[in-house]
Structure 1
Amino acid sequence: MKNTRFLVFFGLLLFSLAVSIKLFHVEATRRAIQEDVIELSKVKYGLFNIDEWKKVVARVVTAKVEELELTDANRSTMRKRINDLLTTVITDLESNFKRENEGSFKGFFKNAGASFLDIFGNMKRNIPEFTSQIMRFIDDPKNREDLREYILEKIDNYADNTFAETDYTLHNEILARHGIGSREETVAVLRTRASLLQAEKQPYSYALYAVLLLLMVVILAFKNIFRWELMVVIATAFLPLVLGILLPMIEIDARIAEMRFQLLGEQVRFSDQVIFYKSKSILEVVELMAEQGKPDLLAVGFLVLAFSVLFPFSKLISSLVYLSRKGSKNNKFLNFMIFKTGKWSMADVMVVAIFMSYIGFSGIVSEQLGQLEGLAKNADILTTNQSSLQTGFFMFAAFVLLSLAISQRIGDLKGAPYSSEP
């Protein structure tokens, strides 16, 4: 019976180890792909990118220039519009000429000469000929193409002299690394891969949760349990703890799902524009705080490290030593770590939750959302929040619950004499 129980517990430990390694590998691969997708989907390459706007304007200008093509259906309408425009322009020119030359001796002769020679009258009588010349100009495909290129050249020059150039270094590295094609094609393929890896990850996560739940039930419900069985459970508890501090706990993803508006009558659309993304593990949070070098951030980083890494590891190691060594019941340090620190059991979770909320919401407000203030009021904007808890959070929570069960069971053994038997 004892050998059977040993094989079962040890088998669960080996199974959990194998599942944890596979889970970590799949999640790390998925996360790397997801970060590439996020980078390529950032708003700096889309809505806030001058090169993208050049493409949009080029499409709109091309459409408008092509509308200048004369057909039997619009020829009479176009002729009337040009005729009316020229009439208005010449009439305004005549009024301005007379007004500017009023009140002076020299101006009097200019107005008199213009009236005597009937300059503006001749111009008005020639409006039909002017209109025909303009229509012949528009009717020439080469002239329309030259007009389009001229407008686009002016727009490019203005944009290049007004807006900062976008750094495409990381963008191009990602495209070259995957070798799929354009940004849109790469994003589509990588999203599919990330979804497949997410689906592949689920069975391993559920299997590990099931093992941890089973072990927790066993050590709490069984009256007779061997010390070595508790030690195997403690060794297993290291696995969700390691995964909890290495894998991301929360993913904050705020984006513009879709934005539509009209530009000179043409529909313009941007979709899946990431305006903020943050996904950090506990160790990455500590590293980030340390890199800042500020006293307040260093203090926060130390708290996260102490309560989420040092304290849990110390407690598990102390539990192993307590169960494996004779005379450990009288060790004050071991007794303190195992039995006197229960009230701190959830402090690590609290610190991580508060800090992750801080870096998430503070970052969204201060870094990204202010960029939307200048958008046109008549634009249709659909935003979405794809933030979610990640595997690291659930693994860390599972470790905390299992750790509480272990502490409870060791407490039940405190008054018993040391033995390898129950």
Structure 2
Amino acid sequence: MASDVQAAKAKSSLFIRLLLIAGLAGLLCAEGYFGYRLHTLSADQEQLKEDYSNINNITLGLFSVDQWQDKIGGIVNHQVRHFTLTPHQKHELQVEVEQIIMALINRAESLLEKKPTSLMGKIKKLAVKTFVNTDKIKAQVPTYAKTIIAKVDNPQNKQQLSTMALSKFKQVKKTAYVDSSIKANDSLTNVMFNKYHVSDTEALNNKLSNSLERIRTETYNYCFGMLACVIVVLMLWWLVRKRVELHATLFIMSLLFAFILLAVGLTASMIEVDCRISSLDFVLLGEHVVFKNQVLFFQSKSILDVVEVLVKQPAVDSILVGILILVFSILFPFTKLASTGIHLLSRRKIAESKFIKYFAFQSGKWSMADVIVIAILMCYIGLNGLLDKQLAGLNIKTETLTMLTTNNTALQPGYIVFISFVLYGLILSTILKFITPYDSH
């Protein structure tokens, strides 16, 4: 009878354990999917922002000869072709032109009054005095002045003048440096247009902005989905805290959740530095010249990206820092998680070996995962304040010039996932001390 009761209990315990494993496996798959989507979306976001920063980089805008040529050329063309004189201006110009013509006539008369020294000169002077009546010419000066002003105000002449002015701008392209620069810019622009199937920069910017907004929303949704899975696991620990036979199973499954958090936290973007001139507006020849979203600097890095950058530097100190981050903030946490699982599942001899016990219970003081979380946060706060201060010095607002800067530096979902891993790991370490069948000291 007692054996039947024990068998029933064993079957019930086995059923509950299998049910727990099945439920946690489904939850683990959900977390894995959320993590995979967050990772891929983070990479997509980084690529989109990289393309956005390239197409809107200050070297292709504010510092581009091609852009200045188009903008100034358009202003000159508009100013010349739409040049008009008010009645008051025409009157003043009439007076000035008449004065100039009269001055020329008087100058010609003074030259004629000089005594010629040669026979040919005497003949020319006699011919001019005989056939040229200067009084009649002076009387027609107002008519001449009106004719000249009419020629200046003629639309066809304005068009010719505009064409001539624009030809001067096109001569800039003849220099080797400018020509190669413009070709490189055109090549990059064409590549971007073909990549995103658009025909102009404005359409490209709109498409990139819409895609980035969608990805940002999805990324945070998947991030919070991962955290929800972890919270469910911690709630299960509270529910089964008295079911000792389920502790080992639940702990091993909990470790798998931690590994996924660690993997996503290390590879997803953690911090993004984005500095730009949001608007530059100044007045030239009475018209506004506007440059918008001129990217000064952009970088997006995960922890593994930072390690890779540091290790590839030629300086020894940079390589050393990269190795320290790799060892103490990546390898140590990974080894610690693995050691806790080995300690709980292995035989006593292995579970109580110095190596396993050290990493399971004592390596926390050497792991810098929590330190790097704080360091990144402090770096973000300090860098954000520094950039705000420096960019604020570029803000200008006058009647003829307006320049506004923007600091879009921000922590990314990868940071939230990594700090969640650190906190979750600390909780699992505390749980292990209560459920271990061996001495944890």
Bucket of the pairwise TM-score, normalised by the shorter protein: 0.7 to 0.9
Once the two structures are TM-superposed, the CA of residue 266 in structure 1 deviates from its matched residue by: 0.6
Q: Is the 8 A contact 2:344 2:436 kept in 1?
A: no
1:260-339 matched pairs, under 5 angstroms: 260-327=281-348, 328-339=350-361
Once the two structures are TM-superposed, the CA of residue 245 in structure 1 deviates from its matched residue by: 1.1
The code of the aligned residue for 2:364 comes to G
The match for 1:82 is: 93
Q: Is the 8 A contact 1:16 1:236 kept in 2?
A: yes
Once the two structures are TM-superposed, the CA of residue 400 in structure 1 deviates from its matched residue by: 0.6
Q: Which residue of 237, 241, 244 corresponds with 2:258?
A: 237
Query: Does 2:145 align with 1:131?
Result: yes
Query: Does 2:26 align with 1:11?
Result: yes
> Identity rate of aligned residues, in percent?
25
The worse-fitting range, judged by mean Cα deviation, of 267-276 and 135-144 is 135-144
> CA offsets per residue over residues 154-190 of structure 1, 9 Å max, x none?
2333476497424324333221112211111111112
Q: Which residue of 361, 373, 380 corresponds with 1:349?
A: 373
The code of the aligned residue for 1:292 comes to Q
- Structure 2 unaligned blocks of 5 or more: 1-15, 116-133
The code of the aligned residue for 2:94 comes to N
Q: Is the 8 A contact 1:69 1:138 kept in 2?
A: no
Q: 1:386 to 1:85 in 2, by over 3 A?
A: farther
Distance in 1 separating the partners of 2:49 and 2:372: 27
Query: Does 2:54 align with 1:39?
Result: yes
> CA offsets per residue over residues 205-257 of structure 1, 9 Å max, x none?
22111111222344467533511211111111111111111111011222222
Q: 1:289 to 1:85 in 2, by over 3 A?
A: farther
The worse-fitting range, judged by mean Cα deviation, of 340-349 and 242-251 is 340-349
The match for 2:188 is: 170
The code of the aligned residue for 1:82 comes to L
The code of the aligned residue for 2:362 comes to K
The size of the alignment, in residue pairs, is 394
Distance in 2 separating the partners of 1:92 and 1:250: 74
Q: 1:377 to 1:324 in 2, by over 3 A?
A: farther
Q: Which residue of 353, 362, 369 corresponds with 1:340?
A: 362
TM-score normalised by length of structure 1: 0.80
Query: Does 2:420 align with 1:398?
Result: yes
Distance in 1 separating the partners of 2:405 and 2:112: 62
- Structure 1 unaligned blocks of 5 or more: 98-109
> CA offsets per residue over residues 363-402 of structure 1, 9 Å max, x none?
x69xx96996999994112222222211110110111111
Choose 1 or 2 for highest CA Rg. 2
Q: What secondary structure does 1:195 align onto? A: helix
TM-score normalised by length of structure 2: 0.77
Q: Is the 8 A contact 1:259 1:380 kept in 2?
A: yes
Q: 1:311 to 1:145 in 2, by over 3 A?
A: same
Q: 1:142 to 1:388 in 2, by over 3 A?
A: same
The match for 2:125 is: none
The answer to which structure, 1 or 2, has the higher relative contact order (CA under 8 A, 6+ apart) is 1
When the two chains are superposed, the root-mean-square deviation of aligned CA atoms in Å is 3.8
The code of the aligned residue for 2:75 comes to V
> CA offsets per residue over residues 120-169 of structure 1, 9 Å max, x none?
x9999876355334323223333211211211222333476497424324
Distance in 2 separating the partners of 1:413 and 1:318: 15
Distance in 1 separating the partners of 2:139 and 2:410: 73
The code of the aligned residue for 2:194 comes to A
